[in-house]
């Protein structure tokens, strides 16, 4: 039975971002898949609809606005700590904005060495939610031969690992879960689709309906859980993830460029060969 090509490669086929030989090989592999042509058609249709809803000029203006606000906040924090200026947001041109509107852009680049991490360090949390004890959090189990293994933040992972995600809402009624990898690809985990409900179930850990298999993207796989007291715009969260994912170091360490009224929990896995 033919193996499905990974989603990041399907994205590049749809965007025409492969050399001719690689593109021909990818299309041949798709043709051998039982639903290869259907996967590509659905991705292209989703991209078309997203471009209709999010014209590049409007996306560029909105992302610029959010990045500028985030840059001012970061600069003020850095200035308060060290007396020097902080991180400055990047400037987006129309070609980048058009790719952001597609929401499926991935950039193929290696991730620089950023040092060692403690494998038992707790997930990083930005923002807070007054009146509720504890923070929203993600739990990630790796499927094994006998029973699932509960992973810790900065645990090592490999290509082919099958992960099961679950969340604890800690009283937040709405949330979105996305991940970024070392190639700059962004994946939506909750809700399952752009138009799905962002409502969260209360109480103990809630398991997502589908598992997630890691591909060969290098460096890391970082999961971000964005929570809110009001329904979330899934496209907005994905757009902010794509902005951050284009900068490898920031994609490892910084929160998504979103309003501070939204809480964010980060959980990173370190990819090894």
**CATH number of the domain residue 250 falls in:** 2.70.50
User: Which residue shows structure tokens 């031969």?
Assistant: 145
Task: Provide the terminal-to-terminal Cα distance of the chain, rounded to the nearest Å.
Answer: 25
- Asked if the bond preceding 191 is cis, omega within 30° of 0, the reply is yes
Residues 90 and 36 both lie in one domain? no
- Asked if the bond preceding 154 is cis, omega within 30° of 0, the reply is no
Pair 224, 179: CB distance under 8 Å: yes
CA 205 and chain centroid, separation: 21
> How many CB atoms within 10 Å of residue 90?
15
Residues 75 and 199 both lie in one domain? no
The number of domains in the chain is 3
Specify the DSSP element, H or E, that contains 218: none
3-class state of residue 202 by DSSP: coil
CA distance 89 to 73: 11
Confidence (pLDDT) at 140: 95
Q: Is residue 118 part of a domain?
A: no
Residues 48 and 77 both lie in one domain? no
Residues 222 and 92 both lie in one domain? no
Confidence (pLDDT) at 68: 65
Tell me the Cα Rg of the chain: 19
Q: Which of 158, 160, 163, 168 has its CA nearest to residue 148?
A: 163
Output the CA–CA distances (angstroms, integers) from residue 211 to 8, 12, 141, 142, 148, in the order listed. Answer: 17, 23, 10, 9, 12
Residues 215 and 195 both lie in one domain? yes
Residues 210 and 96 both lie in one domain? no
Q: Give φ, ψ of 160 to 5 degrees.
A: 95, -15
Confidence (pLDDT) at 147: 86
Domain range holding 135? Answer: 124-271
Confidence (pLDDT) at 109: 32
Q: Is residue 23 part of a domain?
A: yes
Q: Is residue 67 part of a domain?
A: yes
For each of the chain's 273 residues, which pLDDT tens digit applies? 456 777 667 777 887 767 788 888 888 888 888 888 888 888 788 777 766 766 666 666 666 666 665 565 555 545 544 444 333 333 444 444 444 444 333 333 333 333 333 444 445 555 544 444 578 999 999 988 788 899 999 999 999 999 999 999 999 999 999 999 999 999 999 999 988 999 999 988 999 988 999 999 999 999 999 999 999 999 999 999 998 898 877 888 889 988 888 999 999 999 998
Residues 26 and 97 both lie in one domain? no
pTM: 0.56
Residues 132 and 96 both lie in one domain? no
Residues 20 and 77 both lie in one domain? no
């Amino acid at each position: 039975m033919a193996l499905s090509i990974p989603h990041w490669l399907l994205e590049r086929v749809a965007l025409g971002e492969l050399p001719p030989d690689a593109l021909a090989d990818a299309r041949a592999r798709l043709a051998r898949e039982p639903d290869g042509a259907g996967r590509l058609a659905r991705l292209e249709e989703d991209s078309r609809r997203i471009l209709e809803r999010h014209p590049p000029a409007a996306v560029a203006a909105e992302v610029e606005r959010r990045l500028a606000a985030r840059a001012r906040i970061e600069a003020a924090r850095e200035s308060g700590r060290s007396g020097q200026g902080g991180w400055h947001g990047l400037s987006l041109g129309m070609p980048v904005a058009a790719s952001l509107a597609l929401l499926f852009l991935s950039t193929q680049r290696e991730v620089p060495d950023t040092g060692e991490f403690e494998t038992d360090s707790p997930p990083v949390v930005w923002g807070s939610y007054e009146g509720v004890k504890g923070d929203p959090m993600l739990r990630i189990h790796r499927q094994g031969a006998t029973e699932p293994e509960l992973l810790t933040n900065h645990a090592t992972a490999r290509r082919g690992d099958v992960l099961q995600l679950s969340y604890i809402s800690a009283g937040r009624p709405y949330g979105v879960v996305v991940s970024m990898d070392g190639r700059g690809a962004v994946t939506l985990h909750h809700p399952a689709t752009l138009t799905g409900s962002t409502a969260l179930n209360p109480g103990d850990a809630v398991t997502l309906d589908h598992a997630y298999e890691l591909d060969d993207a290098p460096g890391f796989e970082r999961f971000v859980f964005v929570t809110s007291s009001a329904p979330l715009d899934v496209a907005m969260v994905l757009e902010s993830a794509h902005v951050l994912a284009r900068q490898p170091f920031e994609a490892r360490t910084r929160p998504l460029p979103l309003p501070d009224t939204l809480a964010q929990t980060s959980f990173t896995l370190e990819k090894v060969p």
